[in-house]
Structure 1
Amino acid sequence: MSSTSGQIADLRKSYERAELSEEASHADPLQQFDQWLTEAIAGQVPEPNAMTLATVASDLRPSTRIVLVKGYDARGICWYTNYESRKGQELAGNPYAALQFHWVELERVVRIEGRVEKVSAQESDTYYASRPLDSRIGAWASPQSQVIPGRGMLVTNAAKYSAQFLLQPPRPPHWGGYRLVPDQWQFWQGRKSRLHDRLRYRQAGGAWVRERLAP
């Protein structure tokens, strides 16, 4: 065993910042999420909109990556990406996924599971048009998840598409938004002595059922 491995085994933290009770939490998980995300932003947590996206390929191998939430409402949680990327291909074969937010400074985790669908072309167009020009060109320049000979290819592609589209690049047909429609949420609040608070919301009969899980 390496010295670093030994040090990791000895790491400990006492979670004592807050609590999460059934009485103080919202009956609607979206409202609870909105409250926690608002508090993460107000608390200046680094990249509070960053979330881990987990997908599963047809060979049943899971994979994860970090994406940024770009919108949420009663319909679900949205992000944008290349449809031809690994995650896009996996979602095409298996449209179920999981999201996780980890706000370390607040000792909080939110887990969301559900079915994923593409957002409308109009929604994708609107968000794409709001992005900085370099990011819009980047969506054309990068064949995401594909093997490339080197960074020079990306630079060359960016220059090519910049010259082709100037200041008005259209949204690439392979780029757009996804929406995860939740059927389960979990909210985790760190507590002392590893007796953490963990509330799950699950769909049952068209309504949300809130229940406490052992940590």
Structure 2
Amino acid sequence: MSEANVAMPSMRVSYDAAALHESSLAGTWHEQLQRWFDEAVAAEVAEPNAMVLATSDAEGFPSSRTVLCKGFDERGVVFFTNYTSAKSHDLAATRVAAATFPWLAMQRQVNVRGTVEKVSSAETAEYWGARPRGSQLGAWASAQSRVVTNREALESALSGIERRFADNERVPVPPHWGGWRIRPEVVEFWQGRPDRLHDRLRFRRADETWTVERLAP
């Protein structure tokens, strides 16, 4: 075993950066998420909008990957992807997902769980227009999650797309691409504390009413 593996059981961090009390919690989950997100941005956390998205297929086999959140409000948390990707197949089959914002540098994480829906075509078009042209062309070129023979095949596909839209000032939205929104049923805010007595405050929805609960760490 490597020295790092041998030392792993003794690797520990003292979580004493902050506390999370019910009295300091925002009135809604999305206001609290906005507060923590703004603080992560101010602290210059790398990729503060990165979140680990967890899905499962129709047989219950799980999968996770990191995606970028592109917005959130009272309706939910939004990200964009290829609708023919593995994650989209999972979401279409089960209609549920979970996502975690891992702000480890701040000894915080936020977990969101709920049902999913596709965002409107207008929302997709608005975000698509803000993407760099290279990212737009890449979305056209990549058959996401499918097996490809080699890197050259991807680059060849991109070259073909560049020629296809060379005379287009604006690249259109691919029909196979768009956004998903996670509509939360549960949103948990986790703040690391000493001696593993972490603060875990959870917003939980029952019908249209939200309650706040403290969970044991």
TM-score, normalisation: structure 1: 0.97
The 8 Å contact of residues 27 and 210 in structure 1, kept in 2 or not, is answered as no
Which residue of 1 is the match for residue 188 of structure 2? Answer: 186
Instruction: Map Cα deviations across residues 113-139 of structure 1 (whole Å, 9 max, x no partner).
Output: 001100011111111111101000000
Which residue of 1 is the match for residue 164 of structure 2? Answer: 164
Instruction: Map Cα deviations across residues 53-92 of structure 1 (whole Å, 9 max, x no partner).
Output: 0001012110000000101111111000001010011111
Whole-Å Cα distance in 2 between the matches of residues 154 and 137 of structure 1?
A: 12
2:152 aligned with 1:152: yes
Whole-Å Cα distance in 2 between the matches of residues 195 and 130 of structure 1?
A: 43
Shift of 1:172: 0.7
Whole-Å Cα distance in 1 between the matches of residues 57 and 21 of structure 2?
A: 37
1:39-118 alignment to 2 at 5 Å? Answer: 39-118=39-118
Shift of 1:4: 3.2
Which residue of 2 is the match for residue 18 of structure 1? Answer: 18
Q: Which amino acid is 2:26 matched to?
A: H
Instruction: Map Cα deviations across residues 128-165 of structure 1 (whole Å, 9 max, x no partner).
Output: 11110100000011111000001111111111111111
2:109 aligned with 1:119: no
| 2:177 counterpart (160, 175, 178) | 175
Q: Which amino acid is 1:74 matched to?
A: E
Deviates further, 34-43 or 203-212: 203-212
Which residue of 1 is the match for residue 211 of structure 2? Answer: 209
Deviates further, 106-115 or 163-172: 163-172
Whole-Å Cα distance in 2 between the matches of residues 153 and 209 of structure 1?
A: 51
Whole-Å Cα distance in 1 between the matches of residues 62 and 2 of structure 2?
A: 28
Whole-Å Cα distance in 2 between the matches of residues 175 and 205 of structure 1?
A: 31
Shift of 1:214: 0.3
Whole-Å Cα distance in 2 between the matches of residues 169 and 198 of structure 1?
A: 44
Shift of 1:12: 0.8
Shift of 1:39: 0.2
Count residues in correspondence: 215
Alpha-carbon RMSD across the aligned residues, in angstroms, is 1.0
Whole-Å Cα distance in 1 between the matches of residues 173 and 204 of structure 2?
A: 36
Whole-Å Cα distance in 2 between the matches of residues 201 and 6 of structure 1?
A: 39
Instruction: Map Cα deviations across residues 39-60 of structure 1 (whole Å, 9 max, x no partner).
Output: 0001100110000000010121
Whole-Å Cα distance in 2 between the matches of residues 176 and 107 of structure 1?
A: 32
Q: Which runs of 5+ in 1 are unaligned?
A: none
Q: Which amino acid is 1:26 matched to?
A: A
Whole-Å Cα distance in 1 between the matches of residues 37 and 185 of structure 2?
A: 19
Deviates further, 168-177 or 49-58: 168-177
The 8 Å contact of residues 27 and 208 in structure 1, kept in 2 or not, is answered as no
Shift of 1:5: 2.5
Whole-Å Cα distance in 2 between the matches of residues 178 and 163 of structure 1?
A: 30
Percent identity for Structure 1 against Structure 2: 45
Deviates further, 45-54 or 167-176: 167-176
